[in-house]
Structure 1
Amino acid sequence: MPDTEGIRLQKVLSQAGIASRRVAEKMIIDGRVEVDDRIVTELGTRVDPTASVIRVDGARITVDDTLVHLAINKPLGMHSTMSDDRGRPCVGDLVEYRVRGNKKLFHVGRLDADTEGLMLLTNDGELAHRLMHPSYEVPKTYVATVDGAVRRGVGSTLRAGVELDDGPARVDDFAVVDKLPGKTLVRVTLHEGRKRIVRRLLAAVGYPVLELVRTDIGSVSLGEQRPGSIRVLTQKELGELYKAVGL
């Protein structure tokens, strides 16, 4: 007897926004779709999308509509917490009326009040845990405005490592983006998550930070997202995050 339980795989892919039903069928035939670590090429295959792990081109997709994955551009002066007992503006204020069902959200990539930029909010606990865990080395990129003209060799020093008061730290990448009167715009990429790590690293090599914005966490970029705005992560972004942390 044919298996009538579950939902046809191409319909699951279509509902997840991966592709139209017809394109999803071609993806399956071409061997681009895995279900529970097994490549599936049969169009009649039915799956339980709430129980199976489905990947397209190696990137996991999610069809669980109880999961929330958001990108927020935290404005300057706002605290990263979901609530604040002192009544200060916080990230929770932005999402209070935007996320239905009072879902418990974790913030991934906390930022100080004087730093703006990209944060992720999710109720996907395992994803949040892995993104924050240093062993997965998910890179984060910042654009900093620093005091003065940056001399040659600073990038090499930062890549080699700098001794801070709580141990050595280094960047994965460093570049000068623009030179301005009396200051310089630089881009810093690292996978460290220690408190105020970018400010402390740049100060340690003689360049105090005047302004700091986080632009990327792993595969997710701030792009043109305005301060205070929230958007849902795309399936592509989410799949790449899952892949980066081995989910």
Structure 2
Amino acid sequence: MAAQGSGSRPPRRRSAFTPPKHVRLRDEDGTRRPAAPADGDGDTDIHREDGERLQKVLAKAGFGSRRACEALISSGRVRVDGAVVSEQGVRIDPSTQVIHVDGRRLQLDESKLTLVLNKPRGVVSAMSDPEGRRDLSEFTTGHSQRLYHVGRLDYETEGLLLLTNDGELAHRLTHPSFEVDKTYVCRFDAPGGPPRGLVKALREGVELEDGPARADRARVLAQDGREAVVEVTLHEGRNRIVRRMFASQGFELTALMRTRIGPVVLGDLASGTTRELSGRELGTLMAEVGL
């Protein structure tokens, strides 16, 4: 045995090497190994050799140019099947894999379609009407999918209505437990302007025949001494609830328009026209209802 201090050193103990998260390793034969799980998210073997490049999928979903989408990936803002993807060139199957960008899920199923409609006044919120009145079917003729309306607007109310064939999305948007906000612009005769207590009453709650109702937000948008325009936001969906809230305070609405559902805004969409919900809008909407 060598004497102590003779210059020989004991063999160095190798420490275990743990690859950084999301780094893909290859075995000696070149076989790709799955990356380490991301924060307990489970299996991250997401690469599909015959799939579509992730940045191309993001670009098609409306997240900008390929370069902008590559930047999203590099900054760790994209998850596939729960795992952060930060390397370029990963291929995925958009028909079977779930993608989130900044926590918002992308709807990549091309069989699913969601439209924004600016419903005109004098149209029934139904796909057909036994009385022969105008209905929603006239706005879906250019689409092969069988679409249904999400919720409804009464015959005289105009504005934002969603049409979709995504049953789960429709269910969550209409279920009271998800409390999706809806914003309305309300016009009514008000000589001298609306009374000071109107907006306060709407915010604090009014009594209706089927129980109390309260606006989450309310504000005066315009007044000219003859009529007034008030914007209200609420998450309830009872029949004709906005009209009834104003009627409880002695005002009959002369015009009512819905301008927003959750993060989806009507904007300058012309009356009687539709547009497809963009990828970002749809992702934000799905996140709001837990999809």
**Contact kept? 1:73, 1:226, Cα under 8 Å:** yes
1:19-42 deviation per Cα after TM superposition (whole angstroms, max 9, x unaligned)? 222221221110010112221112
Q: Are 2:180 and 1:135 equivalent residues in the alignment?
A: no
Instruction: Give the aligned partner of residue 201 of structure 2.
Output: 157
Q: Are 2:228 and 1:168 equivalent residues in the alignment?
A: no
Aligned CA RMSD, in angstroms, stands at 1.4
1:145-167 deviation per Cα after TM superposition (whole angstroms, max 9, x unaligned)? 12223111322221221121111
1:92-149 deviation per Cα after TM superposition (whole angstroms, max 9, x unaligned)? 11212x21x2x22121131011111110101111111111111111111111112223
Q: Are 2:108 and 1:75 equivalent residues in the alignment?
A: no
Instruction: Give the aligned partner of residue 224 of structure 1.
Output: 268
Secondary structure of the structure 2 residue equivalent to 1:163: strand
In 1: Cα distance, 2:262 partner to 2:82 partner: 23
Deviation of 1:206 (Å):
2.0
Q: Are 2:61 and 1:16 equivalent residues in the alignment?
A: yes
Shifted more, 66-75 versus 78-87: the winner is 78-87
Shifted more, 213-222 versus 41-50: the winner is 41-50
Counterpart residue type for residue 91 of structure 1? L
Aligned length: 244
Q: Are 2:160 and 1:118 equivalent residues in the alignment?
A: yes
In 1: Cα distance, 2:79 partner to 2:233 partner: 32
Instruction: Give the aligned partner of residue 109 of structure 1.
Output: 151
| Structure 2 unaligned spans of 5+ | 1-30, 33-46
Q: Are 2:227 and 1:183 equivalent residues in the alignment?
A: yes
In 2: Cα distance, 1:44 partner to 1:231 partner: 32
User: Percent of pairs identical after alignment?
Assistant: 51
Deviation of 1:7 (Å):
2.2
TM-score normalised by length of structure 2: 0.80
Counterpart residue type for residue 56 of structure 2? K
Deviation of 1:87 (Å):
1.6
**Contact kept? 1:150, 1:207, Cα under 8 Å:** no
**Contact kept? 2:159, 2:258, Cα under 8 Å:** yes
Secondary structure of the structure 1 residue equivalent to 2:133: coil
TM-score normalised by length of structure 1: 0.94
Instruction: Give the aligned partner of residue 259 of structure 2.
Output: 215
Counterpart residue type for residue 178 of structure 2? Y
| Structure 1 unaligned spans of 5+ | none
The structure number with the bigger radius of gyration is 2
In 1: Cα distance, 2:61 partner to 2:202 partner: 42
